[in-house]
A and B are shown apart, each in its own frame.
Chain A
Amino acid sequence: MTTTHDAPINLAQTSEGAQELSSRDVIAGAERLRELGAVLRLSESEALNAELEQTPDEETMIINMGPQHPSTHGVLRLMLELQGETVLRCKPIIGYLHTGMERTGETLTYLQGPTNVTRMDYAAPLFTELAFSLTVEKLLDIEVPERAVWIRMLMTEMNRISSHLLFMATNGMDLGAVSMMLYGWREREEALRFLQEVTGLRMNHNYIRPGGVAADLPDGWRDSILRLLDMLPPRLDEYDVLMTNQPIWRERLQGVGAISTEECLALGVTGPILRSTGYNWDLRRDMPYMAFDQVDFDVVVGSYGDCFDRFAIRLAEIRESMKIVRQCLEKMPKGDYRIQDKKVTPPPRARIDESMEALIHHFKIFTEGFKVPEGEAYVAIESPRGELGCYIVSDGSPNPYRMHVRAPSFVNLQTLPHLMHGNLLADAVAIISSVDPILGEVDR
């Protein structure tokens, strides 16, 4: 009888080569997801039957969570299969906020489009407007003036800050840190105040439009931003004291809901969830759009892919966004805030009073809209939740023939069953919160 101790040495010498387990490559990610079977694939009627037919010796049960549950961020509903307090499988059920916005988009002109898409991701409305506008501009084959580009960058980064602050608030609230909710909301309100100063609205701004932005930055915008940039860092340090360095907070999040890079790539997951696994991927740096190749910032990555990493990444991303905002302040060029292309841009208000043609032109643009050449294009940007893409098919008319938005939350929601598998029901709330889904964007 040979001793087992010799085995590794002998194995190395066999003709079949080394026998140890090779590291999992990406294809194994898909396989692992299949082995795991974390997704509950039951229709609603089947679930009802399963409940009725339940035999007493069966140890699992199917329960329903949401859509009115306060921690489900709106109207997310989960069908959970539990064994005691452990979640075995789950199925996210969505569609409660479905209002057919992609269909609505087909009936609106390209100029009206941003009004519609801005209501998708209501925590980061400027990003959907931006993705839509960039796609239309790609189809039109126009370049917006440099000032418009930098205004867009400034505004979207401010929006990223407000969106992540909202996450800080809800994440705290979901885990019982109620004071964090108030702090997060307080700071978000300050960020929204700036957005309101520029766009006129706290949310659903309809500010970024094909061809540029709706209005130039108002007087005194620099001071408002500087005030905000001075106010935020000490408050973020407070968050660190309150949450990041606090043992209860860490206990609650560390090691909970972990996911691997391979699984994320197989699921098409992007944004902070992908970065939390240590994968260095940010569209702003890796496939730069607008002028992100001219600003200096770091892409923050985690190492464990757990809830704590996702929290810490978002907190750090606020600081990175502030860096970008500061650079936008310095580099903001002078010039036009929208393209001076008569086809796309309505004439300035003053011209309408003096010129008949300008009045007709203005009327035409707002009633008929401008025509976009036939074709199709897909443009993606990095929203606070991941890759936000817009796919537009044009048939040469003033309305998009098909307008599809690739919503990051919609895809990221697919990680929920895998994150929850084997975790406690109490952690499910932390996990939903750390995915940070916006249901308006999921259901569209």
Chain B
Amino acid sequence: MADEAALDGADATDSDATPEVAPEELFGTLLTHSGGQLVLHPSRETYPALLRTLHEAGYFSIIDLCGVDYLTHPGRSGVPASVSTERFEVVVNLINHQQRSRLRLRLQIPADDARLASAFDLYPGTEAMERETFDMFGISFDGHPDLTRILMPEDWPGHPLRKDYDPGRIPVQFKGAPANR
């Protein structure tokens, strides 16, 4: 029975995915395709409502959530023209086990107001991932129960995966070079 439902579901997503002239939409959100993968482009405001819709549609797990800093990226493809690009992106990967399908959300986060609603209420599994994104990019998540650093020490200054963060460098020491201690 479960298999039949999965098959039906797969058919439904296939028919949804047929290319059209007008900007494609799925769940009332702009849809693009990236190498056969479905990508949605919700705004920060519609993100919580979209998550609720997706949860009702069977996307029970957020499998991955990470940030991207587009500061030095020369140009950005795969984003619809009507979406204004910002410095940061939060990328959310959802999975629908019944239909065996995946969905990716790309959210634009401006640098001067780097915040996003937390998905913790519906998807408690995002707790660690949102903490990591906060730790690495300095994007804060409203409504997160414990938004602290997770990988770096508590008193660490800066956010290491930002493109303008200097990771530092230890020069390669060759034989005979003066040791620094």
Contacts and interface: CB of A to CB of B under 8 A. Distances in A.
Interface of A: 26-27, 30, 33-34, 39, 41, 43-45, 94-95, 98, 100, 102-103, 138-139, 141, 265-270, 279, 281, 286-287, 374-378, 380, 387, 389, 391, 393, 395-396, 401-402, 404, 406, 410-411, 413-414, 443-444
Contact of B148 (A30, A43, A98, A401): A43
Given A266-B124, A404-B66, A378 B160 contact: no
Contact of B128 (A270, A286, A387, A410): A410
The 10 closest A-B pairs by CB, nearest first: A268-B125, A267-B125, A41-B146, A95-B151, A406-B64, A98-B151, A404-B66, A265-B60, A402-B68, A268-B61
Given A30-B122, A139-B35, A269-B125, A391 B167 contact: no
B97 A281 contact: yes
B68 A95 contact: no
10 contacts: A95-B153, A98-B152, A100-B167, A103-B161, A138-B35, A141-B35, A268-B123, A375-B77, A378-B37, A378-B102
Contacts of B115: none
Contact of A374 (B61, B62, B75, B104): B75
B73 interface: yes
Interface in B26-69: 34-35, 37, 55, 60-64, 66, 68-69
Contacts of B123: 30, 266, 268
B54 to A, nearest CB: 12
A411 B68 contact: no
Nearest to A92: B128
Contacts of B66: 391, 404, 406
A391 B64 contact: yes
B20 to A, nearest CB: 21
B35 A377 contact: yes
A62 B123 CA distance: 28
Contacts of B160: 100, 103
B127 interface: yes
Given A30-B121, A44-B154, A395 B161 contact: no
A171 to B, nearest CB: 24
A47 to B, nearest CB: 11
> Which of the four size classes fits the interface of chain B?
35 or more
B154 A414 contact: no
A26 B146 CA distance: 24
Contact of B126 (A44, A268, A391): A268
A313 B61 CA distance: 22
Nearest to A269: B125
B151 A443 contact: yes
B128 A376 contact: no
Contact of B167 (A44, A103, A413): A103
Nearest to A266: B124
B35 A268 contact: no
Contacts of A401: 68, 73
B171 interface: no
Given A98-B152, A410-B128, A377 B34 contact: yes
Given A268-B62, A270-B63, A393-B68, A376 B126 contact: no
Given A265-B61, A410-B128, A376 B78 contact: yes
B178 interface: no
B34 A375 contact: yes
A33 B146 CA distance: 15
A266 B60 contact: yes
B17 interface: no
Contacts of B146: 39, 41
